[in-house]
Structure 1
Amino acid sequence: MAAEITVKTLGVTGGHTYSYTIAAPNYGRGTYLLLHGFPSASYDWRHIIEDLTAEGYGIVAPDLLGYGNTSKPTAVEEYAQEDISCHVAEILEHEGISGVVGVGHDWGAGLLSSMWYYHPQLFESLVFMATPYSPVSPNPIDLSAINTRTEKAFGYPIYGYWTFFNQTDAASIIERHHDSFTTLLYPEDPAIWKTIVCPIGKLRAWLEADKETTRASYISDEEWDTHSKIMLNGGYTGPLNWYKAAMAGLNKSPTLDTARQAITKRTIFISGENDAIGRPEIAQQTADEGRNSGLLPNVETFVVPGSSHWMQVEKSKEVLAILKNL
């Protein structure tokens, strides 16, 4: 019954080559498109892929642009969401796949938002993990407004670390202090993000001091080594360009068709209870506003108890139960 997993590559528009993990479904079961976030690769979905394919579900999990074995252009302009959404659509079209359950985590959720706008015909339903739906807009992201609003609401600005990520030496600093960064990425106590990752200036100071915190118990030595190898082999220039592109206004659409913003398919938001950035309150507010406005008429919210940002790794069985319901 298990679906056979293979890894393929495909050249897409713009001259880039994508690597993607794929398994065809068995017995008429559906296919899940799994879009990872920062900073990982399709490896982020290892537990989910294993469990879905064991039950015969199909999966497509690309290493997104700048990650893993996919092309890693250095120019910020290459990381516009419209272009990357077209790349992923090309993979699905090449494989003859449509009607997928789109699942995006972190920046993968942001990409899923763009894919709905530009390629809605590909989806049966959509799942946004850690980051709720953010419709394509004619305006660039207002980082200052988000940080001001969230600091007032929660006591800290949730996107304060973006300021560091936008600096020219951010990639080299992270690479030089990678163990320091990775312990902070996967901390045993996720509350440390509220004081070190989110406030402006704190993350850079932490890394330059080469500090470390206790690693999360759900990350094994093997997983730590594999993650570090993936990220250091490719470097952080490409991954950080996802943030720089957003701050440069490259994800806006000046010719916006507002009718295409509404998600008419079943939509799920999944939040980790202890996620300091993708807070459940933000997902719930987005869902409530979406229902009231008609933007998200079929939205549901789920909170994974005891989980932080990396729920697909930390609490994969709980996430799997939600996904299989789709």
Structure 2
Amino acid sequence: MSQTPAAEFRHRFVASPAGRTHLVESGEGPLVLLVHGFPESWYSWRHQLTALAAAGYRAVAVDVRGYGRSSRPAAVEAYRMLDLVADAVAVVHGLGESDAVVVGHDWGANIAATSALLRPDVFRAVGMLSVPYAPPGGPRPSEVFAAMGGDEEFYVSYFQRPGRAEAEIEPDVRGWLAGLYAALSADTMPAPGAPDPHFVGRGGRMRDRFPAGRLPAWLGERDLDVFAGEFERTGLSGALARYRNMDRDWEDLADHAGAPVTQPSLFVGGGLDASTTWMGEAIAAFPTTLPGLVGSHILEGCGHWVQQERPAEVNRLLVEWLDALPG
């Protein structure tokens, strides 16, 4: 498959409820909207932008509000899921399109799935990487996370108080990102039985459990420079605000408790990713929660950053799925 040079990536802005959304696009054809997770940016889709363009698609990777060159509202509550869905719809319409396929990774998978749930008129199919679909509902998220870990604190709870995680990360953004990326990558993650980097020891920091001294194979020094450079410029508060709205999302989406996503869907997860293993019940429930599921794939020996750790496999799965979609 031919590759589209990075020089052919087109940067632009579209108006959105956030203010404006920065995006990078490549190729022509049916629109495929790519939504990143934490702590990343449009750049996490660099391999997919080239592959999807070569396959005949208009691939568009956004900076989610609070990240990169997109607008960063000051209020924490401006990052609730309903606002992120509205941004996604605005991007589709701002590009002159009436519908799109939406694909997300990590938090982007939640944004993609909720966009498909709430706006089936706009999003005709949905792909989720790393984080499987779990319908709205259930117990209040903050109570669930607070009960995890015993004497240790789950990272989502650690992220809740504004300023706390920022104080750990922002003095050394590059080092912190390198450690987190390594902690959740197949070739550099802590050995089985080592302290889990998803939890924080009493009085400690997340980075205390990150591997040090070696980058994962998928992450070059230049790649790390791109990710770190954006967060050094913007800070982390916009990105972390997503975690600080989980209870608001739970309230906002209460009327959709248990609702399935019925459009054609795809899931790709890493066999060594905690998101896949912890959410095994959500994957098992796909026949009910994703009745339009076309394929569910676990990449053995892969960590959390699936589209960067295994770009060739993910690109193949995406293109095969997209090519088979109706219309």
Question: What is the TM-score of this pair, normalised by structure 2?
Answer: 0.84
1:262 lines up with 2:260 in the alignment = yes
Alignment partner for residue 316 of structure 2, among 308, 311, 321? 321
Give the partner amino acid of 2:11.
V
- Provide the C-alpha distance between the structure 2 equivalents of 1:315 and 1:209, rounded to a whole number of angstroms: 25
Secondary structure at the aligned position of 1:278 is classed as helix
Q: Indicate if the aligned counterparts of 2:9 and 2:26 stay in contact, CA closer than 8 A.
A: yes
Q: Does 1:195 align with 2:190?
A: no
The answer to whether the Cα contact below 8 Å between 1:271 and 1:302 also exists between their aligned partners in 2 is yes
Residue 163 of structure 1 contacts residue 200 of structure 1 at CA under 8 Å; is this kept in 2? no
Matching residue of 2:238:
238
CA 1:134/1:245 → structure 2, altered by over 3 Å: closer, same or farther? same
Q: Distance in 2 between matches of 1:164 and 1:146?
A: 9
Q: How do 1:264-303 and structure 2 match up within 5 A?
A: 264-275=262-273, 277-280=274-277, 282=279, 284-291=280-287, 294-299=288-293, 300-303=295-298
Equivalent residue for 2:324?
none
Question: Is the partner of 1:59 in helix, strand or coil?
Answer: strand
Gaps of 5+ in 2: 322-327
Specify the alignment match of 1:91 in structure 2: 91
Residue 145 of structure 2 corresponds to residue 161 of structure 1: no
Q: Kindly indicate whether residue 19 of structure 2 is the aligned counterpart of residue 25 of structure 1.
A: no
Distance 1:24 1:119, change over 3 A: farther
Identity among equivalent positions (%) equals 23
**2-side partners of 1:42 and 1:108: how far apart?**
11
Residues 14-59 of structure 1, C-alpha deviation per residue, up to 9 Å, x if partnerless? 5x11111123524xxx331100000111011011111211232211
Alignment of 1:56-75 (within 5 A): 56-75=56-75
Q: 1:238 to 1:203 in 2, by over 3 A?
A: farther
Matched, 1:170 2:165: yes
- Give the TM-score normalised by the residue count of structure 1: 0.84
- Root-mean-square deviation (Å): 3.0
Counterpart-to-counterpart distance in 2, 1:88 and 1:280:
29
Letter in 2 for 1:8: R
Counterpart contact for 2:3–2:51, Cα < 8 Å: no
- Post-superposition offset of 1:93: 1.3
Contact in 2 for aligned 1:117/1:136 (Cα 8 Å)? no
Is structure 2 residue 42 aligned with structure 1 residue 42? yes
CA drift of 1:147 comes to 5.8
Unaligned runs of 5+ in 1: none
Amino acid across the alignment from 1:269? F
Partner of 1:135: 135
Please state if 1:13 is matched with 2:11.
Answer: no
Q: 1:96 to 1:195 in 2, by over 3 A?
A: same
CA shift for structure 1 position 262 = 1.8
Task: Give me the whole-angstrom Cα distance separating, in 1, the residues matched to 2:80 and 2:35.
Answer: 16
Residue identity in the other structure for 1:22: E
Q: Which moved more, 1:100-109 or 1:178-187?
A: 178-187
Distance 1:103 1:211 in 2: 30
CA shift, 1:205, in A, is: 2.7
Q: Secondary structure of the equivalent of 2:195?
A: helix
Matching residue's letter, 1:182: L
* Structure 2 SS opposite 1:22: strand
Q: Name the aligned partner's letter for residue 289 of structure 1.
A: A
CA drift of 1:228 comes to 0.9
Q: Structure 1 residues 203 and 220 mapped into 2: Cα distance closer, same or farther (>3 Å)?
A: farther
Give the corresponding residue for 2:80.
80
Instruction: Give aligned pairs, total.
Output: 310
Q: Shift of residue 308 of structure 1?
A: 0.8
Q: Secondary structure at the match of 1:104?
A: strand
Deviation at 1:225, TM superposition (A): 1.1
